[in-house]
Amino acid sequence: MRADGGGQVAAAAAAQSTMTTTLTHLQRLEAESIYILREVVAECERPVMLYSIGKDSSVMLHLAKKAFHPAKPPFPLLHVDTTWKFRAMYEFRDRMARELGIELLVHVNPEGLAQGINPFTHGSQVHTDVMKTQGLKQALDKYGFDVAFGGARRDEEKSRAKERIFSFRSAQHRWDPKNQRPELWSLYNTRKHKGESIRVFPISNWTELDVWQYIHLENIPIVPLYFSARRPVVNRDGALIMVDDERMPLRPGERPEMRSVRFRTLGCYPLTGAVESEATALPQIIQEMLLTKSSERQGRVIDHDAAASMEKKKQEGYF
């Protein structure tokens, strides 16, 4: 779980003597992502990197360190907090920011907070809209960021598969999927009018397997929740929900039980289903992922809400 001594990808290339004339698939992906990160910094005024603490964010942070070395990444991190993340995620977030010395901005939608919006009484749709989508738009406007990096991948979901790497947003943060800018070669058009912004997805072309393999090869630190441990869970509507703190109201007959579980994706704990697993190391996690018969987003309640729900959320300004 430590970050130092990494650089396996590049080190492997160097070690392959002077005969090397090709790059591995991961080296290509890494180079593409670094190119995108640099392109934004070179052409845009006020970029920010959205940091959601998950494995994709960890990869993004690692890539940002590499892209600008020996300088520090010339942009802050922004965490749009719903206040419902796992405790282990908050600990991890604060440790990473401290160790890397990068400015971390945390934004919570103050109105949502005042209204006590939560996933239990308001449901996942309202909770996500108010705390994530509206919160994100507030934060981008408050700090005047013109570009926000996100860790979305095209293999995650059908509407993501359609999205450009540089995804243009109107001054109202809206995405128009029917009128996307042409994006040829690696020539990104970053021009925009005042108030408009761009969401940039440097790891668009990575798959879930690529992400895990890269984390493995580069020794990238990730939140311990990805590894199996005995954790208190309840079985609710077919999902294993972890009872992470005392805010979670138990339904009649529900009793937390200790089971060996881990998480394939991380979000708000009441909305994130665990999988039963004994995998405590990365190769085992990758093994399980390759042998599984369900996709990684299955554990997310958000995608099941409505058909084409992601596209709709994205149009409204969600990532």
In the region spanning residues 65 to 124, those forming contacts with another protein, defined by CB under 8 A, are 65-72
Q: Which residue in the set 180, 227, 232, 260 belongs to the binding site for another protein (CB under 8 A)?
A: 180
CA-nearest of 144, 157, 146, 131 to 200 is: 146
Residue type for position 295: S
How many residues interact with another protein (rule CB under 8 A)?
79
CA-nearest of 152, 163, 148, 107 to 130 is: 107
289 binds another protein (CB under 8 A): yes
Smallest distance, another protein to C-beta of residue 81, A = 29
Residue type for position 15: A
21 binds another protein (CB under 8 A): yes
Residue type for position 70: P
Q: Give the count of beta carbons closer than 10 Å to the beta carbon of residue 138.
A: 17
**Closer CB to another protein, 99 or 183, in the complex:** 183
25 binds another protein (CB under 8 A): yes
Which residues lie closer than 8 Å to 202 by C-beta, 6 or more apart? 32, 33, 34, 36, 37, 60, 63, 149, 151, 165
Smallest distance, another protein to C-beta of residue 209, A = 7
**Closer CB to another protein, 81 or 296, in the complex:** 296
Smallest distance, another protein to C-beta of residue 249, A = 28
Smallest distance, another protein to C-beta of residue 251, A = 24
Relative to beta strand 229-236, strand 239-242 is antiparallel
9 binds another protein (CB under 8 A): yes
How far is 71 from 54, CA to CA, in rounded Å?
24
How far is 304 from 284, CA to CA, in rounded Å?
28
* Span 39-68, contacts to another protein by CB under 8 A: 39, 41-42, 65-68
6 binds another protein (CB under 8 A): yes
284 binds another protein (CB under 8 A): yes
CA 286 from centroid of its chain's CA atoms: 18
Smallest distance, another protein to C-beta of residue 38, A = 5
Smallest distance, another protein to C-beta of residue 198, A = 11
